[in-house]
Amino acid sequence: MRIDAIDFFYLSMPEITLEADGSQDALLVRLEAGGNVGWGECEASPLTSIAAYVAPRSHGVCQPVSASVLGEQLNSPTDIARISALVQRNSMDLLQAPHTYSGIEMAMWDALGKERGLPAWKMLGYSATHAKTPYASMLFGETPAETFEHVRAATARGFRAVKVGWGGFGEGTVAADAEHLAAARDALGRDGILLVDAGQIWVENTALALERLDALESQHVTWLEEPFLPDAYSAYSAFAERSPRVRLAGGEGAHNERMAINLIDYGKVGFVQIDCGRIGGLGAAKKVAEHAVASGVTYVNHTFTSHLALSASLQPFAGLAEHRICEYPVEPKQLAIDITVNTLDIDDNGTIHAPNAPGLGIEVNTAAIARYAVPVEIKVAGRTLFSSSTAL
C-alpha cells in the first residue's frame, strides 16, 4: 500500500479553560493507504502539531514530517519502523515532530490492521491479550469534600482503582494535601488502589516532595506520579531511595523511547507511563514496554482523552499478563466522548480488554465531531501550506 493522503482535524470545545484537562481539544489524523482509512490522535497542541507537518524545511534535518511519510509504502510493521526512522532523521531539529508523528503512526497501524484483518497488538508480536484493571483518572476537587465526592462517584461506577491529581496539589501546605489524600482514601475504601499525580509541581525539589511522604504512606498510596520534570532523573532517583513503599511513576512526558528508558534506568521509577500520542506511536511504546519488562518495572498507559487514544495506548502492552493496571479517562469533556462510535467498556470483572478487531478496533464518529471542527489555514508568503479538509 502507498500512503496517499494524510488529513488533520483540529477539534475544540467552545471554551478552553486553564484546568489540566487534555480532553478539551483534539487533533485527529486520517490516513489513506491502499483504499484503507486509518485514524490516530496526537496528544499535544493541535495547531503546533499541524505546523510541524507542513512547515517549509529549514535544512536537511529540519524538514516537515510530511517529507518522510507521504508516498511511502505501508505493507508491514517493518515499513512503520522504517518510516519512524526517517522522521527521526529528517526532522531531528523539529522538536514538535514526535507529537505530530505519533498520531500518524497510530493511523498507520490502524490502516495496516484493516488491510491484514489483524488487531494492532497482534502485529506488534503478541499472541493473546490480557485483561487490564482500569483506574479512574480524575482531578482533585477544590476542597477535600469535592475530592471525596469525585472518588465516591468513581467507586459507584465499579472502579477499584482511582487516580487523583493536579487541582492545586503541592501548591499549598502539607496539611492541606494530607486532607485531600485522606478524603480520597475514605471514599475509595481501605482495599482500593489509590494513585496520586503531582503534575511536575516540585520541578526537581526532592525535599518538597518528601515532605508529603508521611501522608502518602499513611493513606497507602501506590504511586506518586510525576512529582518532578520528566527528565529530572536525579530528583526521581533521590526520592525513590527514600520511598520504598510509595513508588514513583512517570514517563508521559517522554517524547521518545530513550527518555522513558532513562527514567527507568536512572530515575528508578516503579511504573513507567507512556502516551502513544506523544512518544512516537505504538512502535516506540512497545520498545519501552520491552525494557520495562526486562527491568522489573510495571508498564502503564497514559490516556486522558478519547477511546481512540485509549485503544492505541493498550496495544503496546496488551499481551503482558503481569502488567495489568491501566489509565481510563473517566471524566473527559463531551468532545472526547463524541470522537468514537464504540467504547472500551468495563466488564463484570471490573476489567477492560484491547479490541480484537482489525487495527485499533475503534470507529470514529465523523458525524458527531463535525460540530467541533475548527477551520485552519496556514499560509507562508501567500502560499497555502495547509487548509482544513471539509470532509470528515
- Strands, sheet with 36-42, edge to edge from the N-terminal-most edge strand: 3-12, 25-33, 36-42
CB of 90 closer than 8 Å to CB of 61: yes
The dihedrals phi and psi of 290, each to the nearest 5 degrees, come to: -65, -40
d(CA 28, CA 84) in angstroms, rounded, equals 19
pLDDT given for residue 390 in this prediction: 59
Q: Which residues are registered as beta bridge partners of 326?
A: 134
pLDDT given for residue 167 in this prediction: 86
pLDDT given for residue 391 in this prediction: 66
What does the pLDDT look like over 324-378, one tens digit per residue?
999 998 889 999 999 999 999 999 888 999 999 999 999 999 999 999 999 999 9
pTM of the model: 0.94
CB of 9 closer than 8 Å to CB of 31: no
d(CA 202, CA 320) in angstroms, rounded, equals 33
What does the pLDDT look like over 190-204, one tens digit per residue?
999 999 999 999 999
Q: Is domain 3-118+366-387 given the CATH code 3.30.390.10 in the classification?
A: yes
H helices then E strands: how many in the chain?
14, 13
pLDDT given for residue 228 in this prediction: 98
What does the pLDDT look like over 38-77, one tens digit per residue?
999 999 899 999 999 999 999 999 999 999 999 999 999 9
Indicate the pairing of strand 193-197 with strand 25-33.
Answer: unpaired
pLDDT given for residue 314 in this prediction: 98
Identify the CATH assignment for 123-338 out of 3.20.20.120, 3.40.50.970, 3.20.20.70, 3.40.50.1100.
Answer: 3.20.20.120
pLDDT given for residue 331 in this prediction: 83
Among the residues of 139-211, which ranges form H helices? 144-156, 174-188, 206-210
Length of the chain: 392
- Residue position matching grid coordinates 489540566: 20
For 229-273, the DSSP string reads: -TT-HHHHHHHHHH-SSSEEEE-TT-SSHHHHHHHHHTT--SEEE
Average pLDDT score over the chain:
95
Q: Low-confidence residues of the chain, pLDDT below 50? A: none
**Domain 3-118+366-387 identical in fold to domain 123-338:** no
CB of 260 closer than 8 Å to CB of 272: yes
Domain ranges of the chain: 3-118+366-387, 123-338
d(CA 269, CA 233) in angstroms, rounded, equals 9
